[in-house]
Amino acid sequence: MTRPRSQLVSVQDTPYYHCICRCVRRAFLCGDDRVTGQNFDHRKAWMVERLTELVKVFAIDICAYAVMSNHYHLVVRIDQEKAEQWSDDEVIRRWRKLYQGPSMIQRYLAGATLDKAELNVVNEIVQQWRQRLSDLSWFMRCLNEPIARWANDEDGCKGRFWEGRFKSQALLDEAALLTCMSYVDLNPVRAGMAETPEASDFTSIQARMVAWAKRQQKSQQKRKTQNQTFVRKTKLPKQTLPVVPLLRFSGNEKQGKKTTIPFNLKDYLQLVDWLGRAIRDDKRGAISTQQPSIIDRLNINKDELLAYVSRKEKRFIDVVGTENSIQQAVIQWQRKFIKGIRFAKQLFSVESTQYT
| 120 and 147 within one domain | no
| 145 and 191 within one domain | yes
| 126 and 158 within one domain | no
- In a domain, residue 95? The reply is yes
- In a domain, residue 354? The reply is no
CA distances from 257 to 248, 249, 251, 260 (A): 9, 11, 11, 10
Roughly what angle, to the nearest 10 degrees, separates helices 88-95 and 116-132? Answer: 60
Count of domains for the chain: 2
| 61 and 105 within one domain | no
- In a domain, residue 179? The reply is yes
Q: What is the CA radius of gyration of the chain?
A: 22
Return d(Cα 182, Cα 304) in angstroms, integer.
13
| 191 and 100 within one domain | no
Range of the domain at 118: 87-132
Residue 60: CATH number of its domain: 3.30.70.1290
What is the 8-class DSSP label of residue 355?
A: P
Check: pTM over 0.95? Answer yes or no: no
| 163 and 70 within one domain | yes
| 106 and 228 within one domain | no
pLDDT tens string 251-308: 654 544 566 788 888 788 888 877 777 765 544 332 234 433 444 544 556 666 666 5
pLDDT tens string 16-44: 999 999 999 878 889 887 777 888 999 99
- In a domain, residue 352? The reply is no
